[in-house]
Amino acid sequence: MQKKLIALAVAGLASTGAFAQANVTVYGIADGSFDVVRVSNTNGNTDLGNTTRVSSNSSYVGFKGAEALGNGLTAVFQFESGVSFDSKGGLSTSRDSFVGLSSANLGTVVLGNLTGPTRALGTTLDVNAGAAGIGANSALLGKLGNNLIGGTDANTNYTPATGVGRSATSASIFDTRWSNAIAYVSPTYYGLNATVAYVANENKSFHNTTNSPINTSGYDLGLKYANGPILAAVTYNAVSLGNDAGTNVSDLRVGGSYDFGIATVRAIFDRTRGDHLTAIGLGAGKATQNVFGLGGTFNVTPAGKVLAQAYFANDLKLDGSSASDTGAKFFELGYEHSLSKRTQLKAAYVHLNNDNNARYDFGNNAAGLGTVGTSATGATLQGVQLGLRHSF
């Protein structure tokens, strides 16, 4: 699989070779799986029991290219579209899509719909290929008690949500792409580089007697060290919703990994904070939540590896007091077997255990707790996923 340019241009988490003039590449992922998902222990509801489905697991197709402009300067572009081939979904540039300029000595600037360094760190430390499927760590990261789901729309508007429908994406605002964004990635010096991204306040409204003010904007900062087997990074993402309540949310992440050759280990700490939260239904002046994650892979054969990860969301703290039973635990055990450099079989078992007052869902391919409502708290979600992933 070719490295996506966005990993260089926004997150700085991958390297690419020199660009040839007028070079355009078509690339993508076709990732299909058969899932068996069970939902039980939902308070006040008849349990869903087992459901089966076919999922396309963040499959996509993209076009990217570059033109050498001389003096070390290169024009770059990328248009990337999600492909829901399991349900006749359409194409759009809803994934990492941008245009920009790159210089080996000065760094890279891109504008468009972008993955920021906070989301990139989470996906990099996920043990699943492409951070896709029901085992993705976005099930718990950054959700602030499951109250910050979803991303910004084409006009940078954000509508907080606590749940989504079945098979939808249920990642936090910090784990989705930013629309109307600009980012700068510094050159790498001795394994160290920095990323700065800004989300434009394109939705700023006129404030008068008939319109409530809105002025959403944000920034996303990342510092990463990658040298040999070591990767370590810290990111900070802050968003102001610009509403009447003055709601602000932020996410701090610290994480890293070590590659032993035969095995890898990964760890992450995530702290989410919100202020003036009446607009998202928490009814608190301040809320914080910590999430911890550990993961690893082990090569059992030259072509196969076992993978596992465990994530723990602590109880919310509302105005300094703990809100009991608002956390969750998330576990995954899986196996990936490469049939070739571009084709892979995969299998995984996933378990998400909500505390009595929590209703987290899978980050990718949600089970659909959002369609049940607030009475879905305390649910236990289990899933078995068998699939095939092909890159081109």
Q: What is the CATH number of the domain that holds 73?
A: 2.40.160.10
- How many folded domains does the chain comprise? 1
Task: Compute the distance between CA of residue 329 and CA of residue 380 in angstroms, rounded to an integer.
Answer: 10
| Structural element, H or E, at residue 5 | helix 5-6
Task: Compute the distance between CA of residue 6 and CA of residue 28 in angstroms, rounded to an integer.
Answer: 13
Token representation of residue 201: 């306040």
CA angle, residues 250, 255, 258, in degrees to nearest 5: 165
Tell which residue, 169, 263, 171, 151, has the closest CA to residue 216.
151
In three-state secondary structure terms, 91 is coil
Question: What does DSSP assign to residue 172?
Answer: B
Alpha helices (runs of H) in 108-227, residue ranges in sequence order: 117-124
Cβ-contact 375, 42 below 8 angstroms:
yes
> Could you read off the pLDDT tens digit of each residue along the chain, which spans 392 residues?
334 444 444 443 333 344 444 588 999 999 999 999 999 876 666 567 788 999 999 899 999 999 999 999 999 999 999 988 888 766 776 899 999 999 999 999 999 999 999 999 999 999 999 999 999 999 999 999 888 888 888 788 887 777 778 878 889 999 999 999 999 999 999 999 999 999 998 888 876 666 677 888 999 999 999 999 999 999 999 999 888 888 899 999 999 999 999 999 999 999 999 998 877 777 778 999 999 999 999 999 999 999 999 999 999 999 888 889 999 999 999 999 999 999 999 999 999 999 999 989 999 888 888 776 656 788 899 999 999 999 99
Domain encompassing residue 181: 5-391
